[in-house]
Amino acid sequence: MIQRSSARRRAAATAAAVCALAVTLAGCGGTTKKDTDNSGKADSGSQAKANPDAPLKKGLKLAFLPKQINNPYLKILDTSGIGAAREFGGKGKEVGPSDASASSQVSYINTLVQQRQDAILIAANDPNAVCGPLKQAMKKNIKVVAYDSDTAPACRQLFINQAGSEEIGRSQVQHLAKQLDYKGEIAILSATQNATNQNTWIGFMKDELKKPAYKNMKLVKTVYGDDDDQKSFQETQGLLKAYPKLKGIISPTTVGIAAAARYISDSSYKGKVVLNGLGTPNQMRKYVKDGTVEQFALWDPKKLGYLGSYAAAALASGQITGAEGEKFKAGKLGEYTVGKKGEVILGPPTVFDKSNIDKFHF
């Protein structure tokens, strides 16, 4: 409860900054701005009036469309969301591409629209490239919920965010800086180049690095492992070779940090280059135990999927429309409130290290 309300306060305080950055970043790496509408109003669906007392409809069909199907983190999220759908008498499924690309997601959206799903939940590989078909979905009264990685606000009714994007971005720089005693060259190993969540976080990292406290730190390069294990491994290898003075790497992706840890653990950089970022405890446990990684962070992906599922059901049942201030109950997680631009925030991330990692199993 306390966590949620403080997260909401933070979200309200920082929403303007988040959006400003999101708009700036939406343009990078080839995505088009054509579909970006930051009014926060989705094309359809949000005009209807909410009935907070409406019961959750039975038999709702929810489809989860992750960035890519074989990402262990997104698998946890979707499995949990599908489980939540069973709880309220609905039917969930996961479909999606094996590569984290927006064009692959588009064909899945089109199929889901033809199938007349009640809601599509999407972790977007690009804020704008998936917009056309999602708007079509909303026109046909299919509810659209972005989770994990947002679309442009006009292309969905809700965005279920892990934690405040600003908190996620800044805290990663803060943690790494402490480990490095605020000195040295650093790099970022990201996922795909257009991923909304990654770019929003990186925007806040860069902004954090502008503060005087970090004057002796320098971000020398951002590389993209595309949430592909092998590519992330090779990018790590390339980075360390190209920047022999590199002292730290932030990898804000569960796929990236695990691959980077694997590379470093078996190299001469172990114990010399600090790796931090976002990872799952199960993938990172051995690297914490063998001393490759001291700490990393993440929220609970099970809760994120569960919250997304209930949010989609609340939309599809008319309890909420996606307007700021609306409240809905997310099963055993309790009540949540829709924030600015349809954002619902799960809560602050947890930092994992050797003192607590064995308490977490996901």
Nearer to ligand RAM, 202 or 320 (CB): 202
Cβ at position 148, least distance to ligand RAM in Å: 5
Distance CA 98, CA 185 (A): 34
d(CA 253, CA 284): 12
Give whichever of 46 and 253 is closer to ligand RAM, judged by the CB atom. 253
Closer CB to ligand RAM, 71 or 80, in the complex? 71
Q: Which is nearer to ligand RAM, 104 or 136 (CB)?
A: 104
Angstrom CA distances, 2 to 8, 105, 159, stand at 10, 36, 21
Distance CA 161, CA 149 (A): 8
CA distance 285 to 293: 9
User: Least separation, in Å, of the C-beta of 251 and ligand RAM?
Assistant: 9
Residue 54 Cβ vs ligand RAM, minimum distance, rounded to whole Å: 31
CB of 149 to ligand RAM, least distance (A): 5
Binding site residues, ligand RAM, CB under 6 A: 67, 71, 73-74, 123, 148-149, 191, 197, 227, 253-255, 278
DSSP state of 278: B
* Cα separation, 139 vs 45, whole angstroms: 8
Secondary structure (DSSP) of 222-271: EEE-TT-HHHHHHHHHHHHHH-TTEEEEEE-SHHHHHHHHHHHHTSTTTT
Q: Please, what is the minimum distance in Å from the beta carbon of residue 232 to ligand RAM?
A: 10
Q: Are 123 and 148 in contact (CB under 8 A)?
A: yes
| CB nearer to ligand RAM: pick between 61 and 156 | 156
The residue (of 121 and 320) whose beta carbon lies closer to ligand RAM is: 121
Minimum CB separation of residue 169 from ligand RAM in Å reads: 12
